[in-house]
Amino acid sequence: MPKSKRAKVVHLTKTDKKGKELSLKLFANVQEAADNFEHIFVFSVENMRNSYLKQVRAEFADSRFFFGKTKVMAKALGQTPAEEHLTNLSKLTEHLTGNVGLFFTSRDPKEVIEYFAAYSETDFARAGVTATQTFTIPAGVVHSRGGELPEDDDVPLPHSVETTVRKWGMPTRLDKGKIVLDIPYTVCKEGEVMNSHQTALLKMFGVAMAEFKVDLTAYYSKATESVTEIDAMEE
């Protein structure tokens, strides 16, 4: 008997229950980590890439990272002195706004701050990222690095991608099997927010403009029961 194509009813009570279970689990895990580690950092990530985040997690295998609902994490730590899981933790929850996470560790804060200040990975930009430089492809035969290398050190772009780059906005044409531009074409300008066609072209020409970086905002130390703002400390 064929399956019915009628829309199935999904009971919201089931999905709500699952969401509640996840929130309760996050709440319990955050409180457990607060008990087991000496320092709690609030952090954000620029140009999130799971592969690089895995590298960071591996480097800090003795620590714990949490991404989740900030309201739940803030509630777990305590948003007021009366709710605090540990003394003065409510001062840290003031920094739990926006797309941020919690990092629990017993390593020395200076070591942690120095590591993340030095750590970054360059990758290809995605739509919505601001261009860090102006990238223009010169007129003539289009090469695989878009003019970033001398022609003698580069190779022409394969003719098979001509329709693709034209779809992405480049006014190209084929001439004797070579992709050609009659005039220079600017893919992006420094400071402008890029769309998916621009970022696709940058990736094709091997131009990386996104930097994966973990920014630390503030941290709580259990020994001193105090919160330190990292920007203020660096200044």
CATH top class, domain 21-122+212-229: alpha beta
Domains of the chain by residue range: 21-122+212-229, 129-210
pLDDT value, residue 6: 53
Q: What is the rounded distance in angstroms from the CA atom of residue 78 to the CA atom of residue 88?
A: 9
- 3.30.70.1530, 3.90.105.20, 3.60.21.10, 3.40.1280.30: CATH of 129-210: 3.90.105.20
Q: Which residues of the chain have pLDDT under 50?
A: 1, 3-5, 7-15, 232-235
- Residue-wise pLDDT tens digits, 120-147: 888 899 999 999 999 999 999 999 999 8
Q: In what order do the strands lie in the sheet with 172-175?
A: 140-141, 178-181, 172-175
Distance CA 156, CA 205 (A): 11
Q: How far apart are CA 122 and CA 38, in angstroms?
A: 32
Q: Closest by alpha carbon to 111, among 42, 39, 31?
A: 39
Q: Which residues of 135-167 are buried (b: 16+ CB within 10 A; e: fewer)?
A: bebeeeebbebbbeeeeeebeebeeebbeebee
